[in-house]
């Protein structure tokens, strides 16, 4: 069936794109004349070609645009942007072939990959045939900018808009206030943005063209748009530490900060008066520092700190026992209830192992030492005695690696250190024999022995110097403070290591089994909170919710209460908190299409046929972000392009996937080579090569 009138039809009959066009026409906006080949039309019927030609005659034009209108296309959650074919400037006698080509694209390679990502199962296709507009200029309007709430984002090019949406050029960009009133067509677009958003009730992605007057070619909900965040008070925020957390681990940190849990374990709690955890970076204010100092001052007396150290040591010992127990247990064949009981047991213990990381008196003890000795002497004294801190995994790792190389036996080393590659990260990457072999190739036995002797001799000498220094300290309070600082410095790292190691085995032994039984990728499970995993049998958060979380997260701590927000807008907060970077000669700037950051190896993809070259966890580097790249996005961790803008199809898809994307660098494919380690910073908008 072919429909021609401008009545708004059921989306299941005319598809998403045509549905948007019908609504634009009903609102009184200029839409190029069109008709729709509806879902279920038999394109192979011998009468179809004649019917198609008859309807084409009604458009009174010489050239046509043939566009997909899939029933899943242009939806509020999944855009299918650019996944199906579009044919432009089609002559009337070639119209049938163009329609058949667009129809066939409902099962192309990139559409199949996108369907799998968004759990779409139907691909019913309607097709829009429009009178072709060959405009003076064309573009895309986001009625609400993904990067600046309250503004309209417009990108445009000269001529057909296909070069913009395909990502083959760097467009001109304009940002306007909604409803801005001026006499140019920009003013008309801004007014239309305000009006259409009110009519539809949500932000929109609108394609337009201008030739003597303004035409609208497409309207769909704007996907991957995040909720506005509460205003973060301007304050003296200081960056405390950066860790590349998965969201699951972030939820554990938030739980470990709760006063009730800390008091239950240690009899007191450390308040977080003002704190932020933004995409792995922790920030605190001087108000928070002062509150901590006052707390430790109130507790300092008698043997409090010595008793606290004893409790911390017992906590680590318990964590190590549970880790050893967990390593020996196989959960692959147990019943679901047994698996979840084990999860609840170990995750509760993991949270308790994390609590000491939120309770650190080092700064207070350091300040007390400074009062006795002055800052310069106190810092020098601490530097002299830190060699006496207890041995940690990270301090021992290089020596143990060299011993494994010397002995030609990697088994013990791998057993001890398989967890060491960021167990709290978004992906779990256990150290393997391949990793060991790649690293050991750089060492001859002779060089390994030489380096091992250098390290051990230096460590022994550092300890002798530290003991000699301590023996000369005459003031009892100074000696006591130095001993406490040494113990807390060692315990801080030792506690963190054993907590992280514990989580590695929870993740590899238990969470991997839960993910498998619920048919979830392990990375998706790590986008849930530990409470949500506890209640997984009651339902999994929606793909849209998990996609929003993959774009970013922020936890705000205020007076013992914490609230978490998700979405790419959190990177806007991070941009405000971080100092403006100084860009050196090796830094290349671009336009941020999807916020985020990643350091990974790059793979140059010049065309569709090369997507199979991409390895898991690599950054795609390409001249333009064509929709065909969708087939590679499940493996990619970032995208860098020479051309393109933030409204092009692949940039939209990158935001839906939550993959950091930097477009319009102009030179990426020329200055980067396969295998280079690259930092992609889509917070500040640049990339740079990192030395291995």
Classified as helix, coil or strand, 222 is: coil
pLDDT at 225 over 80: no
Residues 6+ apart with CB under 8 A from 653: 79, 81, 82, 114, 627, 630, 633
**pLDDT of 575:** 83
Instruction: Report how far residue 593's alpha carbon sits from residue 581's, in angstroms, rounded to the nearest whole number.
Output: 19
**Joined tokens for residue 542:** 């929606």
Please spell the DSSP secondary structure of 290-313, one letter per residue: HHHHHHHHHH-STTHHHHHHHHHH
> pLDDT of 342-400, one tens digit each?
999 999 999 999 999 989 898 899 999 999 999 999 999 999 998 998 888 888 999 99
Mean pLDDT of 276-291: 90
Give the start-end residues of each E strand in 438-552.
Answer: none
Most confident of 118-122, 582-586, 598-602: 598-602
How far is Cα 298 from Cα 311, in angstroms, rounded to an integer? 19
The DSSP element (H or E) to which 342 belongs, if any, is helix 336-354
Please report the pLDDT score of residue 394 as a whole number: 85
- Please indicate whether residue 628 or residue 41 has the higher confidence score (pLDDT): 41
Nearest to 278 by CA among 59, 575, 528, 46: 575
For residue 85, the model assigns a pLDDT of 82
β-bridge mates for residue 604, sequence order: 621
Quick check: helix, strand or coil at residue 334?
coil
pLDDT at 148 over 80: no
| Lowest-confidence pick of 140-149, 216-225, 548-557, 606-615 | 606-615
Task: Give whole-number Cα distances, 364 to 62, 99, 153, 275, 375, in Å.
Answer: 80, 73, 49, 18, 13
Q: Which of 128-137, 451-460, 580-589 has the lowest mean pLDDT?
A: 580-589
The answer to whether the beta carbons of residues 190 and 152 sit under 8 Å apart is yes
Beta bridge partners of 211: 213
Q: Could you tell me the pLDDT band of residue 15, with boundaries at 50, 70 and 90?
A: confident
Mean pLDDT, range 37-52, rounded to an integer = 91
Give the residue-averaged pLDDT of 330-342. Answer: 95
- What angle (nearest 5°) sits at the alpha carbon of residue 84, between those of residues 117 and 210? 120
Q: Note the pLDDT of residue 607.
A: 73
- Residue-wise pLDDT tens digits, 163-206: 877 777 888 988 888 767 776 788 889 899 999 999 999 889 99
Residue 529: is its pLDDT beyond 90? yes
Extract the tokens encoding 140: 């895309």
What's the pLDDT at 182? 75
Q: How confident is the model at residue 49 (pLDDT cuts 50, 70, 90)?
A: very high
Tell me the two tokens of residue 655: 């935001």
Phi-psi label, residue 325: left if phi above 0, alpha if psi -120 to 50, beta otherwise? alpha
**Which of the two residues, 149 and 330, has the higher pLDDT score?**
330
Cα distance between residue 621 and residue 605, in whole Å:
6
The tokens for 343 are 């999860």
**pLDDT of 4 higher than 80:** no
pLDDT confidence band for 74 (50 / 70 / 90): low
Place of tokens 């990067």: 147
**Average of pLDDT values for 475-495?**
93
**Whole-model pTM above 0.95?**
no
What pLDDT, on a 0 to 100 scale, did the predictor assign at position 628?
67
Residue 78, pLDDT above cutoff 60 = no
**CB under 8 Å to 546, separation ≥6 — which residues?**
524, 527, 528
Across the range 307-329, mean pLDDT stands at 96
Percent of the chain with pLDDT over 70: 94
* Tokens matching residue 320: 């190590």
pLDDT of residue 116: 54
Q: How confident is the model at residue 692 (pLDDT cuts 50, 70, 90)?
A: low
Average pLDDT, the chain: 88
- The CA angle 206-209-210, to the nearest 5 degrees, is 135
- Whether the per-residue pLDDT at 653 is higher than 80: the answer is no
Distant-in-sequence, close-in-space partners of 49: CB < 8 Å, separation ≥ 6: 96
Total residues belonging to the chain: 692
Find, among 356, 318, 380, the residue nearest to 490 by Cα. 356
pLDDT at 145: 86
Q: How confident is the model at residue 107 (pLDDT cuts 50, 70, 90)?
A: low
| DSSP states of 356-390 | GGG---HHHHHHHHHHHH-HHHHHHHHHHHGGGSP
Question: How much is the average pLDDT of 99-119?
Answer: 68
Looking at the predicted structure, is the pLDDT value of residue 260 above 80?
Answer: yes
For residues 425 and 243, what is the distance between their CA atoms, to the nearest angstrom? Answer: 8
The radius of gyration of the chain from alpha carbons, rounded to an integer in Å, stands at 30
| Spatial distance between the Cα atoms of 634 and 485, rounded to a whole number of angstroms | 47
Predicted confidence at residue 456, as pLDDT, reads: 93
């Amino acid at each position: 069936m072919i429909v021609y009138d401008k009545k708004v039809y059921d989306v299941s009959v005319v598809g998403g794109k045509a549905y948007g066009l019908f609504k634009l026409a009903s609102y009184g906006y200029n839409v190029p004349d069109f008709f729709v080949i509806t879902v279920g039309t038999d394109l192979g019927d011998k009468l179809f070609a004649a019917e198609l030609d008859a309807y084409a005659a009604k458009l009174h034009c010489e050239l046509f645009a043939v566009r997909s209108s899939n029933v899943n296309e242009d939806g509020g959650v999944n855009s299918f942007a650019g996944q199906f074919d579009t044919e432009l400037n089609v002559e009337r006698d070639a119209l049938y072939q163009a329609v058949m080509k667009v129809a066939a694209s409902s099962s192309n390679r990139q559409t199949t990959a996108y369907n799998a990502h968004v759990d779409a199962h139907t691909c019913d296709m309607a097709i829009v045939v429009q009178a072709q507009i060959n405009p003076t200029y064309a573009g895309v309007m986001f009625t609400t900018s993904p990067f600046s709430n309250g503004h309209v984002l417009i990108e445009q090019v000269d001529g057909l808009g296909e070069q913009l949406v395909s990502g083959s050029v760097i467009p001109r960009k304009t940002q306007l206030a909604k409803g801005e009133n001026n006499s140019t067509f920009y003013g008309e677009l801004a007014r239309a943005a305000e009006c259409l958003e009110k009519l539809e009730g949500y932000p929109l992605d609108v394609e337009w063209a201008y030739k003597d007057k303004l035409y609208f070619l497409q309207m769909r909900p704007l996907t991957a748009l995040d909720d506005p965040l509460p205003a973060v008070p301007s304050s003296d925020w200081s960056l405390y530490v950066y860790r590349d957390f998965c969201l699951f681990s972030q939820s554990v940190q938030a739980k470990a900060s709760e006063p009730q849990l800390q008091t239950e374990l240690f009899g007191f709690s450390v308040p977080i008066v003002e704190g932020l955890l933004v995409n792995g970076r922790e920030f605190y204010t001087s108000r928070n520092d002062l509150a901590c100092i006052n707390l430790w001052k109130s507790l300092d007396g008698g043997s409090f700190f010595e008793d606290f150290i004893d409790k911390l040591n017992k906590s680590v010992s318990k964590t190590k026992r549970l880790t050893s127990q967990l390593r020996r247990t196989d959960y692959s064949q147990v019943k679901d209830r047994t698996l979840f009981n084990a999860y609840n047991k170990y995750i509760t213990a993991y949270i308790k192992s994390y609590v000491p990381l939120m309770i650190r008196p080092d700064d207070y003890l350091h300040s007390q030492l400074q009062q006795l000795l002055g800052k310069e002497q106190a810092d020098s004294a601490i530097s002299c005695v830190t060699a006496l801190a207890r041995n940690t995994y990270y301090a021992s790792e290089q020596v143990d690696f060299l011993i494994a190389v010397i002995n030609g036996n990697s088994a013990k080393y791998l057993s001890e250190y398989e967890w060491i590659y960021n167990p709290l990260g978004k992906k779990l990457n256990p150290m393997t024999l391949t990793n060991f072999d790649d690293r050991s190739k750089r060492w001859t036995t002779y060089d390994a022995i030489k380096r091992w002797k250098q390290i051990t001799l230096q460590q022994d000498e550092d300890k002798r110097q530290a003991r000699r220094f301590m023996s000369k300290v005459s003031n009892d309070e100074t000696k006591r403070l130095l001993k406490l600082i040494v113990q807390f410095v060692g315990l801080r790292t030792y506690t963190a290591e054993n907590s992280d190691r514990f989580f590695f085995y929870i993740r590899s032994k238990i969470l991997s089994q839960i993910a498998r039984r619920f048919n979830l990728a392990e990375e998706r499970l790590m986008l849930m909170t530990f409470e949500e995993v506890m209640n997984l049998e009651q339902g999994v958060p929606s793909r849209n919710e998990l996609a929003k979380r993959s774009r970013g997260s922020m936890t705000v701590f205020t007076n013992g209460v914490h609230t978490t927000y998700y979405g790419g807008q959190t990177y806007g907060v991070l941009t405000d908190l971080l100092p403006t970077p100084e860009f050196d000669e090796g830094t290349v700037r671009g336009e941020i299409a999807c916020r985020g950051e990643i350091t990974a190896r790059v793979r140059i993809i010049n065309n569709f046929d090369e997507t199979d070259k991409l390895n898991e966890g690599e950054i795609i580097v390409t001249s333009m972000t064509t929709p065909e790249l969708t087939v590679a996005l499940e493996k990619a961790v970032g995208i860098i392009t020479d051309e393109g803008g933030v409204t092009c199809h692949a940039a939209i898809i990158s935001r839906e996937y939550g993959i950091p994307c930097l477009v319009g660098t102009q030179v990426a494919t020329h200055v980067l080579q396969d295998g280079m380690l690259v930092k992609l910073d889509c917070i500040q908008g640049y990339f740079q090569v990192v030395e291995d």
